[in-house]
Structure 1
Amino acid sequence: MTDAANRTGTTRYLPPGRLSRAVNRIVAALTRRGLSLWGSRVLSVAGRNTGIMRSTPVNVLTLDGEQYLVAARGNTEWVRNLRAAGRGRLTVGRREQWFTGVEVLDDTRLPVLRAYLRRWAWEAGAFFDGVTAGTSDDELRAAAGKHPVFRIVPTPTPEDRS
């Protein structure tokens, strides 16, 4: 477990089932072709052990002019890889956005989680153990440690940095 996981208590991980994996493949294929479904992007992050780029579809939340990634399933592989690599790439079709992922560890993640649940409860609400967008701050705070949140800070592409 990483230091960030120790700080947030994020050890929970709910692996996707067969149906979820199939849906993820479809969403990723559509997103790669330029069709974003409800804010979908393909997230690519270097693997923490191999350095090979690993990709998965994610929902990008825009709130108050900032973009966020929320790990509804908990301490997923992409979360662990992003913590290790610190940066990743989001793509829709041919458009790509490189970013630094800044983990949000305090109560500033509560409005992000609330907005995420408001937008994607139909898709991800089952992973929040009954917590909803209308849940009290105390209940949401208790659940927050199970769902890592990253603020997306755009950065230059690796080619631009050299």
Structure 2
Amino acid sequence: MKDRTYLKPPWMQRNVGNRLAPLFGRSVVSRLSVRGRTSGQWRTVPVAVLEYEGARYLVSYRGLSDWALNLQASPECRVTAHGRTEDLMAEEVPEADRPPIMAAYRDKYGGMPTVSAVLTALPDPADHPVFRLHARS
């Protein structure tokens, strides 16, 4: 098994930036809620949902984050954007299919603080879990 590749965000981003992101980046930032893999409690984090070739994706740009591990354990999630919450399923994208999605993510969100630097530090698409979002049936 591969070691967990993850670049932990600095304290300021985790404790201040993540709380303020939905207030200032409403057109870009959504809230992802997913059940904790051990606690079963809902956990919520800010994310940028990528729309690419008619589908929506979540990219864990810092690597194998806790929210990505939680989605791998339980793919049911909620995404809240523009005051609307959707109950969704997340399907992990195979590593071989990630490069064009990662390129589109960099093109769209590379100007956001830290995104470009993190993607430069972790250039291998295999280091970034990517999930395609689907409506729950």
Report what 2:60 is aligned to: 71
1:91 is the counterpart of 2:80: yes
Distance between the aligned counterparts of 2:26 and 2:47, measured in 1?
10
Gaps of 5+ in 1: 1-5, 132-139, 157-162
The CA deviation at 1:94 is 3.2
Task: Tell whether the 8 Å contact from 1:10 to 1:147 is kept in structure 2 after alignment.
Answer: no
Change (3 A) 1:89 1:82: same
**TM-score under structure 1 normalisation?**
0.75
Distance between the aligned counterparts of 1:64 and 1:89, measured in 2?
22
The CA deviation at 1:107 is 2.5
Larger strand percent:
2
Distance between the aligned counterparts of 1:85 and 1:45, measured in 2?
8
Distance between the aligned counterparts of 2:39 and 2:87, measured in 1?
20
CA deviations on 1:56-113 (whole Å, 9 max, x unpaired) are 0000000111000000111101001111111100002531111111101132211110
CA deviations on 1:9-64 (whole Å, 9 max, x unpaired) are 47211111122121111013x28xxx7232x1100000011110000000000011
Report what 1:25 is aligned to: 19
Task: Tell whether the 8 Å contact from 2:98 to 2:126 is kept in structure 1 after alignment.
Answer: no
Report what 2:117 is aligned to: 126
SS in 1 for 2:127: coil
SS in 2 for 1:107: helix
Gaps of 5+ in 2: none
Q: 1:13 aligns with which of 6, 31, 35?
A: 6
- After alignment, is 120-129 or 62-71 more displaced? 120-129
Return the letter of the residue paired with 1:13.
Answer: Y
Distance between the aligned counterparts of 2:94 and 2:105, measured in 1?
16
The structure whose Rg is larger is: 1
Task: Tell whether the 8 Å contact from 1:44 to 1:89 is kept in structure 2 after alignment.
Answer: yes
Change (3 A) 1:66 1:121: same
Report what 1:36 is aligned to: 26
SS in 2 for 1:44: strand
Q: Percent identity?
A: 32
Which 4+ residue blocks in structure 1 deviate beyond 6 angstroms?
Answer: none
RMSD: 1.9
Aligned residues: 134
